[in-house]
Amino acid sequence: MKHLLLSALSLLILGQAMSQDIHIIPEPESVTPNNQSFVLSSGTKILGSMPEKAKHSIDFFNQYLSSYYQFQPVQGDSAATAKGNVIYFQMEAPSAADTTGAYTLHVGKDSVIISAANEEGFFYGMQTLIQLLPTAVATTLTLPGVDIQDAPQLGYRGMMLDCCRHFMPVDFVKKFIDYLALHKLNRFHWHLTDDQGWRIEIKKYPKLTQMGAWRNGTIIGHYPGTGNDNQKSGGYYTQDQIREIIQYAADRYITIIPEIEMPGHASAAIAAYPELSTFPNQSTVVPEHTTWAGSTSGKQVQQTWGVFPDVFVPSNNTFKFLQDVIDEVMALFPSKYIHIGGDECPKDYWKKSDYCQQLMKNAGLQNEEELQSYFIKNIEKYVVSKGHQIIGWDEILEGGLAPQATVMSWRGEKGGIEAAKQNHHVIMSPNTYLYFDYAQNKPSDSLTIGGFLPISKVYSFQPYPTALPADQHSFILGVQANLWTEYIASPAKAEYMIFPRISALSEVGWSKASAKNYDDFKVRLQTELQRYQLWGVNYCKNWDM
């Protein structure tokens, strides 16, 4: 009897220990420890019932093991079964009820089985498997036995990276995509044009990158700055590099949504082609209290941060230019969405322009807000004619929303609620919860744009606003966090601002509200922090504020 009691106690302790080792972010639908364990080594076989469907998942897993543990499993024969020391990807017959990305994961004594009805399910099941790996480097890894059922709550789970205020190298863009994949995010919003730099090669308009991709200096310190570094800076991505990055993301089941800003945030384009300006012969106005580097004559790429009055003129020439740009963008990016910005467009120059005022009169427009709507609708009509759709920041609601536009709600939740009530799709991206350029501790331990967004507040965000009736929740496509880079000049600083808040974001987008618990999340995050150390990530350590 004593031996039986000891055995039972041992099993209980073992089960508890294994349960404690199962710290998964985002929280799955169900996690059931099974009191077994699986030993992964270079002798483990990895295979799938339909290997072509599991290829990207297997490649990612092998690369991960090679990078951090210096070994790989053996590639198994596709005719083999899920027996022996194997990791097996089992394709299930799809049904109408299947959620894209849903999976089940079984970790037992002899096998790890990931089952899914689609490739994305394999990939996300494999990401969960990665989180079961010990964070201590070894060539033999013991995984806790567990049965997991899981599926994403939202179809759109994204992050935006601003490469305009500070250019980010190709290698870091790929690393950023890996970070999204490891957190089960599936959209990368790539901010490619703004006042401080044009970052995408457009072959029909070479001056965009010859001139618009570079600025003569950058302010020092917080706006308006204590001086100027007088260093020419910038860069751009060639179309070949963009194709390479798009494929890299697609292999990780991430769709890249490109953003081409209009009608505001256009200084870089106007510096290259002044005729796009409302007043093409007027020099760029240097903002008050800004120390400027180089010439102030003619049109210039901005060297400071903020909102500037020199915006695109709504002329046929501008629309032809933007249509040509969009043609090349659509030829590169397979995404059905093109993000056209639409935010922070001052109307000062339009109000002063005889051309714009006459255009408003001819088109029956009551004010400059309606002129912006006229501009956006013109662009949307062209984008839709090419089989794509537009996304815009919530300012595109002003003056009347374009018929098929999706709204990205950034000024709180109000714009998203209004758009959903008009039966438009919405991506929730409120600055008060999801702007990762905001400080994450008090006092801030680095230079930031301002604001305070601790990880606890990120975690508390609910994608479905309480003010939105339940029958309109279907218009909420998902959530997105944004990393604006005015005060983020390097990949290391970008990582510091992302981590660990990206872990909270992943749970906001993936897990059901009923599964979320911040105290439990903080416990699970301790293991994730060890994984950050394994990855060599420059993460914020003073995060629990």
Q: How far apart are CA 451 and CA 441, in angstroms?
A: 10
Q: How far apart are CA 450 and CA 439, in angstroms?
A: 6
Q: What type of residue is 36?
A: Q
> Which of 180, 320, 319, 309 has its CA nearest to residue 256?
180
Residue 505, Ramachandran bin (φ over 0: left; ψ between -120 and 50: alpha; else beta): alpha
Structure tokens, 34 = 């099974």
Q: What type of residue is 515?
A: A
Q: How far apart are CA 184 and CA 479, in angstroms?
A: 13
Active site positions, annotated? 344
HEC states along 198-221?
A: ECECCCCCCHHHHCCCEECCCECC
Helix (H) or strand (E) holding 374: helix 368-385
For 487, phi then psi, to 5°, come to: -115, 25
**Overall size of the chain counted in residues:** 545
Q: How far apart are CA 144 and CA 358, in angstroms?
A: 71
User: Within 10 A of 305 (CB to CB), how many other CB atoms are there?
Assistant: 23
Q: How far apart are CA 343 and CA 400, in angstroms?
A: 14
Task: Give the SS3 label for residue 144.
Answer: strand
> Which of 295, 281, 288 has its CA nearest to residue 211?
295
The DSSP string of 427-496 is EE--HHHHBTTSBSSSS-SS--SS-B--HHHHHH--SS-TTS-GGGGGGEEEEEEEE--TT--SHHHHHH
Q: How far apart are CA 87 and CA 48, in angstroms?
A: 8
Query: How many Å is the Cα radius of gyration of the chain?
Result: 25
The DSSP string of 269-334 is HHHH-GGGBSSTTSPPPPPTT----S--SS-----S-S--S--B--SHHHHHHHHHHHHHHHHH--
HSE-up (13 A, CA, CB side) for residue 293: 19
Determine the number of helices (DSSP H) and then strands (DSSP E) in the chain.
17, 19
